[in-house]
Amino acid sequence: MTDPLALFDEWLAEARASEPNDPEAMALATATKDGRPSVRIVLLKGHGRDGFVFYTNQLSRKGAELAENPRAALLFHWKSLRRQVRVEGPVGILSAAEADAYFASRSRDSQLGAWASDQSRPLETRALFEQRYEEMRGKFEGGDVPRPPHWGGYRVTPETIEFWTDRPHRLHERRLFTHTPDGWRQGLLYP
Ligand SMILES: Cc1cc2nc3c(=O)[nH]c(=O)nc-3n(C[C@H](O)[C@H](O)[C@H](O)COP(=O)(O)O)c2cc1C
């Protein structure tokens, strides 16, 4: 197959059928301007020709790093399939309309959590977070919960996508797709 996005769809479908949980979980690596890396798991919430989408608090550590260095690496590791996929590329912020649409589709509890959580900031006690959550519940009672202005989505536009397959004797297979002005170029890497 010469279309990495079609191949990704195929692998994700297989992961959905075989992973015990969260087949959409991916490690998201970001870095500060001076190159200090950080990594955490987020959920893939959309993907296609123009990229891989996730949602988060834009004032979080990852959000701050993306603001100063808008590039990221993603990693899917599907243990049940002994496969990994690596994606690298520049990152853009989704439009307010796209973020609104996704936020509106979340459960009310998740929506209130987005307001209550000062993601990545120090929290004195768990009780304080629960209290903030209850305050938000009261504040928005009887109406829709709007999207917090600091909550939104990012899209990683792939420049490279690598598909890694386990093979016996560590003779693993690595297929690297690189985006060029003429389309995707495909090659192999030593394992
Ligand atoms: C399975 C799983 C899925 C997660 N999905 C998300 C997500 O979609 N968005 C998000 O902001 N955090 C998600 N998290 C929490 C992040 O890993 C992380 O703790 C949080 O975003 C703060 O990261 P930061 O301080 O580096 O910005 C998830 C964690 C796990 C284990």
For residue 35, report the distance from its CA to the centre of ligand 1, in Å: 21
- The ligand 1 site (C-beta within 6 Å) comprises 22, 25, 38, 40-43, 54-56, 60-62, 119-120
Distance CA 186, CA 162 (A): 10
End-to-end CA, the chain: 20
| CB distance 81 to 10 below 8 Å | no
Active site residue 86: no
Overall average pLDDT of the 12-17 stretch: 98
Distance CA 126, CA 133 (A): 11
- Nearest-atom number in ligand 1 for the CA of 39 is 26
Give 171's pLDDT tier (boundaries 50, 70, 90). confident
pLDDT tens track for 154-167: 999 999 999 999 99
Which residue's alpha carbon is at the smallest distance from atom 14 of ligand 1?
Answer: 42
Q: Among 128, 105, 103, which residue's Cα sits nearest to residue 116?
A: 128
CB atoms within 10 A of CB 142: 4
pTM, entire model: 0.97
Overall average pLDDT of the 145-150 stretch: 97
Residue with tokens 């990229």: 51
Which residue's alpha carbon is at the smallest distance from atom 5 of ligand 1?
Answer: 42
pLDDT tens track for 82-108: 999 999 999 999 999 999 999 999 999
- Nearest-atom number in ligand 1 for the CA of 56 is 11
The pairing of strands 160-165 and 151-156 is unpaired
- Nearest-atom number in ligand 1 for the CA of 63 is 27
Which residue's alpha carbon is at the smallest distance from atom 3 of ligand 1?
Answer: 42
Mean pLDDT of the chain: 97
Which residue's alpha carbon is at the smallest distance from atom 11 of ligand 1?
Answer: 56
| CB distance 127 to 175 below 8 Å | no
Residues 6 or more apart from 140 whose CB is under 8 A from it? 112, 115, 146
